[in-house]
Amino acid sequence: MRKYLFIFKSELMSTLQYVFNIAAGFIGCFILLFIFLNLWQYIYSNPSEIINGYTMNQMIWYIIITEILWGISSGKKICVKISNDIKGGNIAYNLNKPYNYILYSLFSHLGSAFVKAIIYTILGMIVGFMFLGSFPNLNILSIIAVILTSVLSTIISALLVSFIGLFSFIIEDSTPFYWLYSKLILIVGTIFPIEYFPSIIQPILKLSPVYVVCYGPAKLFVDFSLNNFITVFISQIIYIGIGFGLCTLLYKKGVKNLNVNGG
């Protein structure tokens, strides 16, 4: 475990050199938040109106949290890195290294995500307060719950994106699969809470990555409940197990073919 913590630390130190670039990256996020603020202000003709269980302020805070989470954990970099390692043959150099390639990629991603998380959270909270003038009702327990589920959400997202990156073992360029995954999260998870979708689809969405990656932490932020926290937490642990298992399986299968092809 110490070696992975060292990988995490070295990636974190390296990312700290680009703090300004990360902060500048928030501009894109801010533009989207601004558009959604306008859109929801238009849709909620009266700010105290409740649509599908959400007030306008809750809706906008929900989007701010999901956008922050997506900004931190979208993981395009990790997907491209794994895909390029496979396409370029660099993956062969990792075979004799004393680490697990999946865990190496995961901890390296978490190192950069950590810095991003701090910057995006501070900026996101400032923007939210600027737009709405108040925070949702939070207490120590709900803050801890949101932080914990957000960390797990980042890990799940990294594992799922790594899995897509590992698809390059089968199809040369796995980027198109990343587009689909990102749109699933963005449209179904980031823009609307699950309650906005028809009741027939809602149980399916609760089983999908959308629930553990975006909806769970954001819902806890705008409307905390202990029962909801336990459900989200357990679902996230299950997803981490499945995600890691799938990545390991695909990696092992892919590496076998790589050996046959001569690397």
Partner 1 sequence: MLMEVKNQFKITLLSVKYALVREMLNKTTFITNILFMILNNASFIIQWIVLYSLKDNIGGYTFNQVLLLWGIAASTYGFSHFFFKNAYYLSDTINNGKLDSFLVQPKNVLLSAITNSVETSAIGDFIYGYIMLFIFGFSIKNFILFTFFTICGGFILTSISVILSSLSFWFNKSDIIVDTGNSLMTSLATYPDGIFKGIVKILIYTLIPAGIVNYIPVEIMTEFNINLFLIVIIFTITLISLAFLIFYKGLKRYSSSNLMVARI
Residues that bind partner 1 (CB under 8 A): 21, 24, 27-28, 31-32, 35, 38-39, 41-43, 51, 171-173, 175-177, 179-180, 183-184, 187-188, 191-192, 196-197
Which one, 6 or 179, has the nearer CB to partner 1? 179
Say which residues have a Cβ less than 8 Å from residue 251's Cβ, sequence separation at least 6: 101, 102, 166
Packing angle of the helix pair 76-88, 175-183 (nearest 10 deg): 160
Q: Tokens 């390029």 identify what position?
A: 84
Q: Which long-range contacts (CB under 8 A, 24 or more apart) does 92-100 make?
A: 92/258, 92/263, 95/255, 98/3, 99/3, 99/4, 99/7
How far is the C-alpha of 19 from the C-alpha of 10, rounded, in Å?
A: 15
Smallest distance, Å, CB 200 to partner 1? 14
Which one, 1 or 20, has the nearer CB to partner 1? 20
How far is the C-alpha of 75 from the C-alpha of 95, rounded, in Å?
A: 23
Smallest distance, Å, CB 109 to partner 1? 22
Which helix or strand (DSSP H or E) is residue 117 part of? helix 101-132
Which one, 4 or 196, has the nearer CB to partner 1? 196
Smallest distance, Å, CB 192 to partner 1? 6
Which one, 178 or 229, has the nearer CB to partner 1? 178
Smallest distance, Å, CB 175 to partner 1? 8
Which one, 28 or 203, has the nearer CB to partner 1? 28
Dihedral sign for Cα atoms in the order 116, 122, 123, 124: positive
Smallest distance, Å, CB 139 to partner 1? 31
Give how far Cα 96 sits from Cα of 13, 99, 101, 153, 224, Å.
26, 8, 10, 31, 47
Amino acid identity of 153?
S
> Residue 242 burial (CB < 10 Å; 0-12/13-18/19+)?
middle
Which one, 36 or 229, has the nearer CB to partner 1? 36
Smallest distance, Å, CB 161 to partner 1? 16
Smallest distance, Å, CB 180 to partner 1? 6
